[in-house]
Chain A
Amino acid sequence: MIRYALVKNRSPVHAVKSVLEKMLSQKLVDAILAAARNPYSLLPMPTLFCDPGKMEGIDPLAPVAPFNAARQAAAVTKQPTGKRIALVLRPCEQRALIELVKLKQCSLENVILIGVECLGRLENQAYIQHASEVSDFTSVFYKNPDMQAEVTRACGVCEQFTPAGVDLTISLLGAPEGGVGITAETETGDTLITQLELAVADEPESRAAAVGKLLQGRIAARDALFKATVEKINHIEKFQELIATCLSCHSCRISCPVCYCKECVFITDIFAHPPETLLRRAMKRGAVKLPTDTTMFHLTRLAHMSHACVGCGHCSSVCPSNIPVADIFRTVAAQTQALFDYQPGRDISEPIPYLVFEEELSESSV
């Protein structure tokens, strides 16, 4: 059974803050990882809190994320510490984290997952601009549909804005002014609601409608994006044009939360061609662009990780050449994920496609 609790305060930001502070001060958890501003920047960064008194800048609802925090979440859960840690994450971060768990990069033992319903994030510069103009920009954002339209393209097509498979969900859609909903999906979450003495209520009637409406719009936008992107990549020549300005900086892969390799294969010896090889390539073809293997890099990354792509869009956000990497990934990922009937981050027990094989020996080939 799902329990819904309503927390009201001056603003949603304060409501969330009050709950998280209480969690720490009541020692329900030993630490909380959540986005927070620090004195040096307006940009909230994932921050690991142990002292409830230090939670001034905490703002997991802020419509910005400098990067997908799954990696930071994995960093604090890589090995068991014996401490109970709450991770406050957006849905795309939490789904990426589930993939990282499957890839043995971290463990959810003794971890409480708190998912934040996310209407999308702004690009970092846009957010800083807005946040420097108004105080409590977060609350302003949630009231202002025009602002919400400014979210990144990846967020604009994201249909998984509501967390799933977490202990607690912090939701805004349908919540009354100044309040947030807190939903428990698991027994752990349920216990927490009781321990935190949150006011259990019926889920507001308006919530389902608000979620449905947003979802409909997102799906339409997503399908339009798929259609447009297919047109841009459905021939290798077109794709070449699309990535012509790629600098091979690998920022997309560095920002990718599920690209978990310590070092990308493209910076290992496998692709470190000796001069003789480069010359041989030039000799055979007459001319060769340097650095080489750019297309290979993007296609390989798709082959390696598209089944696990959570659509967070950070690859596009970080691209210095404004290549729509996320559009390409989401479009291709839709195909590979459908092929294997796989949804990344859906369920921790759902095995990675490349780790399960037919047992039944059919003679069919490809």
Chain B
Amino acid sequence: MIKNTKILVVGAGISGIRSALDLAETGHRVCLIDKAPAMGGILSQLDHQFPDNHCGMCRMLPMIDRDNGQQFCLRKGLFHENIEILLSTEIISIEGNAGNLTVTISRRPQGVDPDRCTGCRDCESECNIEISDEFSAGFRKRKAIYLPTPHQIPNQRVIDWDTCSLCGACRDACPTGSIDLDNQPETLVLENIPAVIISTGVELYDPGHVDLYGFGHLPNVVTATAFERILSSSGPYQGRLFRPSDGKALKKIAWIQCVGSRNIMIGADYCSTACCMFAVKEALLASRKIGKDARTAIFYMDMRTFGRDFQRYKDRAEKDAGIRFVRCRVHSIEPAENDKDILISYIDSSGNPIDETFDMAVLSTGKNPEFQLPEFASREGVFTVNSARGFMDIQGAVISASVASEKAGRSVSKKGSALLQQRPEKLYFDAVCEEKPQLQIVLCTCGDFLKPVLDWDRIKAELKNMPGRIEIARIKMICDQNGWDEMIAMLRNTTANRLLLAACNPLVYLPRLKELSQETGIMPSLMEVINLRSMVDQATDLAFRTRAVLCELEMSIRRLFSHNPVEPALYPVSKSALIVGAGPAGLTAAISLAVRDFKVSLVEKTSRLGGNWSNIQSAESRETIRTLVTEVENHPLITIHSEAEVIQSFGNPGRFVTRIRSNNKDEKSLLHGVTILATGGRAAETTAYSYRKNNKITTLFELEERLQQPDFAVGSNATIVFIQCVDSREEPRNYCSRICCLKSLKAAITLREVYPQSQVYIFYRDIMTYGNSEQVYTQARRKGVMFIPYDLENKPRVRIESGRIMVEGSDPVLDEPVFFEADLVALATGIVPNPAADLVSIFNLKTTCDGFIREADSKWRPVDTGREGIFICGVGRSPSRANEAMDEGKAAAQRALRILSKDTMIASRHTARVRHVFCSLCETCMHVCPHGARYMDFELQRVQVDHAACQGCGVCAAGCPNSATIIESFEENGIMGAIEAAL
């Protein structure tokens, strides 16, 4: 039995990583487990993600206290001091009560000892079992001993016990004896687990179950995940678009949407949310790779571009990349005449049956309807990330992961579980600056491997000629524990204050430098690791190889001698928050912080709290918000400033000063550690469709209000017309407002229920009922609501003829005009953000072209802004439903806790430093800094670096002509010295 105060996070995909980091960064210890032998979940298979086709996963890494984690690509794995990672591990059971759970886990041995494995692959060559490789979606074969992902660190192989025959060939082939064939799972009982977060993700639907798709027997019908591998340069065809059956270059590709989703027949009455955009992205990437011959088509029912930036992304795909969007339901996929090709039969929008041949069909598979969460997920003290309930895009997954960490953290703090004490880190060792630089080189000879392949006499002789005091030691193998211990013992006895580790993969050692520093007293920033092994592998002859190694050694020597760390000033954190906007998002954030004992100043421009709550139809949401308002009003730590606005703000994460003005006159300064902007939005105005020319033409919002009035009435035979996407999803307001479809559907259902004789028509472009709200769409269809699709070229028309309202449209199926006299027309006008120009300039942020406040990164840091310490949530950032806005409020609060939970802001290594004596105050650095981490100190007439916000990218240093700005560990003389040494 292991007593544990770690919060357990189950599932190490994007959500699990986010949750684990959220908690680790706020001082909790975390144990992150995954049943797979590698981290990353489905994202490890995707190189590019919508809606910008970029990666940027690394932006999830800690930005404050960066040194507690890694500073390299997250695909390599996750490394954080407070996070323990257990792979090939599953939960067997959870017992006990909230706050004190007993979790039984089962851990399968990986078969290969990472401390001894050198990654030589001999084991793999000897293994005679070959099966299809999951990571490559079956396009490649792998052995029973294999690398689960190509990029992970450490990159030793693991044994797949399900296929391994235990023949022992790998064990016998291993030169370092790292293989152990004992495959007995280890059962661990973890006690005193304060909370568990379930972030296992969902299972994807297996299209092999349905004949219609031909999946499984037609080799050129693949899933969207498999197509990602074809696109990837680490995929089966090195990123060239060949098709699996015959290696033919792909030109004509079809995507089939809603495979396994939105299908009541198989019990899938939900939308899998991300597949539409996923397909658009794949089609875009494929078109780009194929070039002008690309013919890509997406067969869909509704193109669910409901994210803020999705509609424009889709429009670009359609207009610029020529991707064809075909609204239809495909009824069969069969082999074509040339039976490698695929014949897709469908009914086009005019009702004509069409057979079309493609090189390949890609199935957009969603969540498997049979997928169910384990029973223990509903236990008290166990928190489930929404992305484990339904398929989600990255933004949704990241936000919902932070919501779960907020809930878990809150429950733990209630139970009084202590956070990790902030250790007064000794990052800077006082005497170093005065000491004469002295360097210890440790060369790992990789067992006996390096001995014969390098000219050691020459290396020894040459090192004598290199500048500075240098000692050199050879160790047989520092990657194994004996070698590591030997090195530490040696370093404890040296007077050296700099260390150069010449071994193999530096990424393996970088996360261990802090530990090494604590053991040896050498500062982590005065250590460097170089890859001796790869140099030796690349070069062919002894002399050339030796020269290359000497070059690399001298390069590092020059850099290490140029390092001159200076301790940066630290400052205390003000344990309070400023929240602007008291709508659902702002109120939620306020409560989240207040219950964790942080003071909150809530600034609201109107006289009442609750934002647009009167527009919210869901009784449940209304009640939630009503309760929130009461809770906020009564919370002793929350100060409400109503009819107030922000007029000025400056400062750094952890210590902002903001001036607010109340009732147009009283001014007040607030000191706060973080800022959360929840400025909200409002109903958009319109002049379309004869709005206001007749009181029977209303907006959807007005209709909702009228529906609640007791005197609301239309004739029992009334014809009621809803028009969706009014002025929306076309320029200039080219985004989906997310709320209108659901509102129209609900209103339509109500009307049909109250007036069963009425005719209710909804003119729509795409019904945006993502996730489980699809059920409302299903229900509306069942209730006899009629749906008429329209496109921008064929919008419905509303005319008023002598007081009568005539609505005209066209039925695409019959290809005939349709014509109603309407008794009521409801216009779904959507929402716009509240004007935020002033706030944006006060806080030095950016807006989108539609006026939403722009987040730092829409996928990976959705509630952060470009400035550390300032967060954003709710409709002010992006259209959202009330429950989504509240989730964002929680997520923003969770991000804010990273700062508020600290007593002092601690600078990380590799930050910028201004040498004021040289600085000419040209402010170039301030202008180019991507994190707003520099400011002018007018009092001292100095440009100052905010060491908490600075990420050490060095753009400032490159822009500074006279090196008044330097980046620690990347000093210019060191780099130029390295260049000199390299040549």
Contact = CB atoms under 8 A, between A and B. Distances in A.
Interface of A: 103-105, 260-265, 268-271, 274, 276-277, 279-281, 283, 304-305, 352, 354-355, 361
B980 interface: yes
B119 interface: no
B919 A268 contact: no
Given A280-B466, A280-B467, A262 B918 contact: yes
B918 A263 contact: yes
Contacts of B971: 270
A274 B436 CA distance: 13
Contacts of A262: 917-920, 962, 964
Given A104-B921, A270-B973, A281-B980, A263 B466 contact: no
Interface stretch (B641-649, B853-861, B923-931): B923-931
Contacts of B940: none
A208 B919 CA distance: 45
B923 A283 contact: no
Contact of A261 (B962, B972, B977, B980): B962
Nearest to A102: B922
B961 interface: yes
B924 A355 contact: yes
Nearest to B922: A103
A105 B924 contact: no
B980 A268 contact: no
Given A261-B920, A270-B973, A355-B927, A277 B467 contact: yes
B963 A270 contact: yes
B963 A268 contact: yes
A260 B963 contact: no
Contact of B972 (A103, A270, A305, A352): A270
A354 B924 contact: yes
Interface string B962-977: 1110000001110011
Interface residues of B, number: 27
A277 B977 contact: yes
Interface of B: 52, 54, 465-468, 917-924, 927-928, 959, 961-964, 971-973, 976-977, 980
A270 B976 CA distance: 9
Contacts of A305: 961
Contacts of B52: 361
Contacts of B923: 104
A280 B918 contact: no
Contacts of A103: 920, 922, 924
A304 B964 CA distance: 14
Given A104-B922, A262-B920, A283-B465, 5 more contacts: A270-B972, A276-B467, A276-B468, A277-B977, A355-B928
A261 B465 contact: no
A201 B52 CA distance: 61
Contacts of A352: 924
A100 to B, nearest CB: 9
Nearest to B52: A361
B973 A280 contact: no
Contacts of A261: 918, 920, 961-962, 964
A261 B918 CA distance: 8
Given A261-B961, A354-B959, A355-B927, A268 B918 contact: yes
Nearest to A355: B927
B962 A268 contact: yes
Contacts of B959: 354
B789 to A, nearest CB: 33
5 contacts: A263-B918, A265-B962, A270-B976, A271-B973, A304-B961
Given A280-B465, A354-B959, A355-B927, A269 B922 contact: no
Contacts of B927: 355
Contacts of A265: 961-963
Contacts of A280: 465-467
Nearest to B977: A277
Contacts of A264: 962
B922 A260 contact: yes
Contacts of B980: 281
B973 A269 contact: yes
> What 8 A-B pairs have minimum CB-CB distances, sorted nearest first?
A276-B467, A261-B962, A265-B962, A103-B922, A304-B961, A262-B920, A270-B973, A104-B923
